[in-house]
Amino acid sequence: MTIDHEDDILDQATSLLRQHTDAGWTAISGDILRRSLRAFRPSEPVRGRHDLGDFFVAADVLVARLRETVDAVPDAAAARITCTTGEDRRLAEVTIQIIAAYGTHLLSLAELVHAAAARRLTDELGTLAPADDAIHTHVHVGDVTDDPRDLY
């Protein structure tokens, strides 16, 4: 009889715990996702060129620097950035998904993000950076928020 009673208590406790969603977990789940996206993994080399010749930079490094640049644009934050290389490991495409502050004119924000990304790519890749009109940067607004803390 004692074992059945203990099993009932354990079943009840398990059931109650499964129903409970910790508010702290909800608050940090976004941070965990961002950290997991930045976890170490092999990275495609991207070719750049400066006065001393060609060099390579890891795509993850380029993405991190682009993220800093996009995050510096007022009312925007980078949610996800991907790079695709083409022939000879030259940068072929950048895709940037952003979070925009509520009430922001989205087309203007997309233009600011595109221009900032183009400048940063030129700074990072030198003469092998794609020309501004040849950069196919796709700005996808995946979220809109009225909480400024979501942008940082």
Centre a 10 Å sphere on the Cβ of residue 131 and count the other Cβ atoms it contains.
Answer: 8
Instruction: Report the pLDDT value the prediction gives residue 151, as an integer from 0 to 100.
Output: 65
**pLDDT digits (tens), the chain, 152 positions:** 444 566 677 777 766 666 655 655 556 666 766 676 666 667 889 999 999 999 999 999 999 999 999 999 999 888 888 888 888 999 988 888 888 888 888 889 989 999 999 999 999 999 998 767 666 555 666 667 777 777 66
Q: Which of 135, 37, 116 lies closest to 74 in space, CA to CA?
A: 116
**Whole-model pTM over 0.75:** no
Beta carbons of 151 and 145 less than 8 angstroms apart: yes
In sequence order, the β-bridge partners of residue 76 are: 100
Q: Could you give the 3-state DSSP secondary structure of residue 52?
A: coil
Q: What is the pLDDT of residue 2?
A: 46
What pLDDT is stored for residue 117 in this prediction?
A: 92
pLDDT score recorded for residue 132: 74
Instruction: Tell me how far apart the alpha carbons of residues 80 and 64 are, in angstroms, rounded to a whole number.
Output: 10
pLDDT value, residue 146:
75
